[in-house]
Amino acid sequence: MKIDENLHWILSFYRTSEISGALFFGELARSLRPSAIQQDMTRHFADEANHARYWTDCLEKLGVEPLKLAVAYQNQYLAAAGMPTNLMEILAITQVFEKRVVGQYSLHAKSADVPGVVRDTIDTIMEDEKWHIQWIRDALKDMEPDYGAANIKETLRRFTLADREVYQDTAQEHQERIGDLRLASK
């Protein structure tokens, strides 16, 4: 099976981003002391590494090798959002990032002429993503007495703005590749 050049690039981009995500969350997990949160973060980065593998398998089924890409969404992320400096900020940036991932995969799954193997891969990944968003939401809720609900809300708002900026820059830079998959930033 031969696939469209743009789809080849997009799936390779997803794969590269999942690898970067695994490294990103792995570094965050390493920065934490042993705790329930570190345990969940460890499972989280293991999931991201598996997602990269699923995309590698998907590309193989489509008859192509993954492209080696220098770009990954996360590369620009911390530059725009700034380094998190406490546990709450780490979880907030993770929550915002995961929502972006879910939004992008949902949009892709709904687009026209998606090969079955791509849709199956997205479905598999989305099962994990539900848990990712849930555990972080629960952990942030548990932090409200310590950090303050308003402070957490403001932190999420700040990181959401940074996320939009990075997404718009990425979408603009790769517009010819992404085409209809470009998300309208909400």
Please give the DSSP secondary-structure letter assigned to residue 112: T
Q: Which residue has the tokens 């993954």?
A: 66
**Radius of gyration from C-alpha coordinates of the chain:** 17
Task: Give SS3 for 4.
Answer: coil
Comparing CB distances to other proteins, the nearer of 35 and 111 is 35
How many Cβ atoms sit within 10 Å of the Cβ of residue 21? 26
Number of chain residues interacting with other proteins (CB under 8 A): 18
The answer to whether residues 75 and 45 touch, using CB atoms and an 8 Å cutoff, is no
Q: How far is the CB of 70 from other proteins (least distance, A)?
A: 18
Note whether 39 binds other proteins by CB under 8 A.
no
Among residues 2, 34, 68, 83, which is the contact residue for other proteins, using CB under 8 A? 83
Comparing CB distances to other proteins, the nearer of 2 and 85 is 85
Q: How far is the CB of 34 from other proteins (least distance, A)?
A: 11
Comparing CB distances to other proteins, the nearer of 158 and 174 is 158
- Name residues contacting other proteins, limited to 50-79 (CB under 8 A): 78
How many Cβ atoms sit within 10 Å of the Cβ of residue 155? 22
Give Cβ neighbours of residue 47 (< 8 Å, ≥ 6 apart): 128, 131, 132
Q: Which residue has the tokens 């849709």?
A: 119
Q: How far is the CB of 146 from other proteins (least distance, A)?
A: 8
Note whether 150 binds other proteins by CB under 8 A.
no
Residues at the contact surface with other proteins, assessed by CB under 8 A: 27-28, 30-33, 78, 82-87, 89-90, 151, 155, 158
